[in-house]
Amino acid sequence: MNDLANIPNAAPDGERPPRQRKPDWIRVRAPVSKEYNETRKLMRELNLNTVCEEAACPNIGECWSKKHATVMILGDVCTRACAFCNVKTGMPRAVDPMEPENTAVAAAKMGLEHIVVTSVDRDDLPDGGAGQFVKVIEALRRNTPNTTIEILTPDFRGKMRAAVEAICEAGPDVYNHNLETVPRLYPTIRPGARYYASLRLLEEVKAHNPLIFTKSGIMLGLGEERLEVHQVMDDMRSAEVDFITMGQYLQPTPKHAKVEEFVTPKAFDAYGSIARAKGFLQVASSPLTRSSYHAGDDFAVMRAAREEKLAKEAMRPRKQDRLKV
Ligand code: SF4
């Protein structure tokens, strides 16, 4: 099997520090299939960016071969410079007015039952880019009404409430916003963001429309402690987050934050069990878990779990009925 993880990491001239060797459990297929090439061609033709490529996601070979891709709207240049992220930082270009329709065309051509749409941070725009998310959701509803929609948004710093309200009104099925790491590591890993502001965003989605599923994720291996991860889970549950994702942080280039630890698959399983015990409707926890990895299948499981929970609640006798007996 080809293995991206085993491509030599050291620069030939020896000037840059070598990247850490990845353990055997982080093995991924090289992107070589016919479907991978077709997905790539379609994205180019429609002038769409994907986070799969821009973030150098290790799952791209698998996902694109199954024609799953996460569209990244609002350009490929981000106004923030997070220490974990491979997306370019700088002054972004003007918003592409064709992006909403092209995203819908991509969903139709790929026959997507579920689509994930994310974006770069656009602190330069008055609405932070919320309007473009709304247009994309509307275009998808018009063109592929059976496709369920998951959005993964930035924190809309300074304009969160209006942005969340507008997006919730457009009615995505899943609203994802990642906390990314534990609060102690924010100043070094996510310096442009605030942990409690991100939590508030997730609360705001539920307050606006409790039927929208909320989802959030963290990367492990950045130096966080086990109890800090448990605390993040509790914080997410307090904000009524339905779905938690936990995956191994991988250093995209030697300039990015170092991997402090390769968390073992067993430890990921243990975190997963704890998260389930804390009441999340859905949990994804493994070294290669990413926000959008298997998102469609996980959405179906989460929706079924909610229906089951509601059915059980409906069966339970209400307190006043019990008192009558
Ligand atoms: S996990 Fe998400 S970002 Fe990575 S390749 Fe799959 S769809 Fe793209």
Specify the range with the lowest mean pLDDT, choosing from 67-76, 212-221, 263-272. Answer: 67-76
C-alpha 51 – ligand 1 centre gap (Å): 7
Sheet arrangement for strand 70-73: 49-50, 70-73, 114-119, 148-152, 174-176, 213-220, 243-248, 282-285
Whether the per-residue pLDDT at 55 is higher than 90: the answer is no
Stretch 182-192: mean pLDDT, rounded? Answer: 95
Stretch 143-148: mean pLDDT, rounded? Answer: 96
Tell which residue, 260, 266, 280, 273, has the closest CA to residue 219: 260
C-alpha 141 – ligand 1 centre gap (Å): 22
Note the pLDDT of residue 323.
64
Bridge partners for 244 per DSSP: 216, 283
Position in ligand 1 atom list of the atom nearest CA 68: 7
C-alpha 313 – ligand 1 centre gap (Å): 35
Task: Report residue 65's pLDDT band, with 50, 70 and 90 as the boundaries.
Answer: confident
Task: Report residue 51's pLDDT band, with 50, 70 and 90 as the boundaries.
Answer: very high
- The string of DSSP codes covering 221-271 is -SS--HHHHHHHHHHHHHTT--EEEEEE---SSTTSPPP-----HHHHHHH
C-alpha 62 – ligand 1 centre gap (Å): 9
Specify the range with the lowest mean pLDDT, choosing from 30-44, 87-101, 183-197, 276-290. Answer: 30-44
Residue nearest to atom 8 of ligand 1 (CA): 52
Note the pLDDT of residue 319.
65
Task: Report residue 304's pLDDT band, with 50, 70 and 90 as the boundaries.
Answer: very high
Whether the per-residue pLDDT at 159 is higher than 60: the answer is yes
- The string of DSSP codes covering 93-147 is ----TTHHHHHHHHHHHHT-SEEEEEE---TTSTTTTHHHHHHHHHHHHHH-TTS
C-alpha 207 – ligand 1 centre gap (Å): 29
Position in ligand 1 atom list of the atom nearest CA 50: 8
User: What is the rounded CA–CA span in Å between residue 208 and residue 190?
Assistant: 26
Stretch 294-301: mean pLDDT, rounded? Answer: 94
C-alpha 294 – ligand 1 centre gap (Å): 8
Note the pLDDT of residue 22.
87
Position in ligand 1 atom list of the atom nearest CA 57: 4
Please give the model's pTM, rounded to 2 decimal places: 0.90
Position in ligand 1 atom list of the atom nearest CA 290: 1
Residue nearest to atom 7 of ligand 1 (CA): 69
C-alpha 289 – ligand 1 centre gap (Å): 9
Taking CB atoms and a 6 Å cutoff, what residues make up the pocket around ligand 1? Answer: 51-52, 57, 59-60, 63, 68-70, 290, 292-293
Residue nearest to atom 2 of ligand 1 (CA): 292
**Residue among 53, 60, 286, 299 whose CB has most ligand 1 atoms within 8 A, to mutate:** 60
Task: Report residue 12's pLDDT band, with 50, 70 and 90 as the boundaries.
Answer: very low
Q: What does pLDDT average to over the chain?
A: 90
Position in ligand 1 atom list of the atom nearest CA 60: 5
| Stronger pLDDT, 229 or 35, i.e. the higher one | 229
Stretch 232-246: mean pLDDT, rounded? Answer: 98
Residue nearest to atom 3 of ligand 1 (CA): 52
Note the pLDDT of residue 21.
80
